[in-house]
Amino acid sequence: MSREPRIALYPGSFDPLTNGHVDIIQRGARLFDRIIVAILMNREKTPLFTAVERVDIAREVFANEPNVEIDTFGGLLVEYARRREASVIVRGLRAVSDFEYEMQMALMNRHLSPDLETVFMMPGEAYTYLSSRLVKEVFALGASVAGLVPPAVERRLLVKR
């Protein structure tokens, strides 16, 4: 029996994409027919990478993964999900500290769109302490971020320095 392809959205700021994000996307790509990495535009006034740069980076990293698509979105996530015919939102949960924010978002999104299901995935334990914010901070203070972000991000960070 054939069924509709199951499309998942993995939304976020991805400023920058970290190896923790990559890990979640790879896990999602194994579970769903397609996973759309949905990069939120214009949230921070001064992002480190523009939306165009973040798209370029993610497309480079997932160039060989046919069921991973990279896109940008603005406005309400549930509206974007409806347009893209996605039935699942994927979010990574690293630690208990993520839980409250994630639960609020998941329940608000469910309130707005009851059929859209949020699925939480745990990254590999090496990434439980990793966040885009800390990557930016340690890089700005001169530390190496090798192993924390894909080489495509590291290269572009070095250019910005």
**Residues with catalytic function:** 21, 45, 94, 132
11 touching ligand PNS, by CB under 6 A: yes
Distance set, CA 28 to CA 9, 99, 123, 158 (Å): 9, 19, 11, 29
Tokens 């893209």 sit on residue: 84
Q: Which residue has the CB atom at the shortest distance from ligand PNS?
A: 12
CA–CA dist 6, 2 (Å, integer): 12
Q: Determine the Cα–Cα distance for residues 100 and 81; give it in Å rounded to an integer.
A: 22
12 part of the interface to ligand PNS, by CB under 6 A: yes
Does residue 134 bind ligand PNS (CB under 6 A)? no
Q: How far is the CB of 59 from ligand PNS (least distance, A)?
A: 18
Spell out where the chain has E strands: 7-12, 34-40, 68-73, 88-92, 117-121
Compare residues 106 and 152 and give the one whose CB is closer to ligand PNS: 106
Part in contact with ligand PNS (CB under 6 A); list of ranges 9-17, 29-37, 53-61, 143-151: 9-17
Q: Is the CB of 105 or the CB of 152 nearer to ligand PNS? A: 105
Q: Is 149 in the site for ligand PNS (CB under 6 A)?
A: no
**Whole-number minimum distance, CB 3 to ligand PNS, in Å?**
27
Residues in region 19-78 near ligand PNS by CB under 6 A: 40, 76-77
Q: Are 51 and 72 in contact (CB under 8 A)?
A: yes
Count Cβ atoms within 10 A of the Cβ of residue 54 and give its class: 0-12 exposed, 13-18 middle, 19 or more buried.
Answer: buried
Applying CB under 6 A, the residues found at the interface with ligand PNS are 11-13, 40, 76-77, 105, 108-109
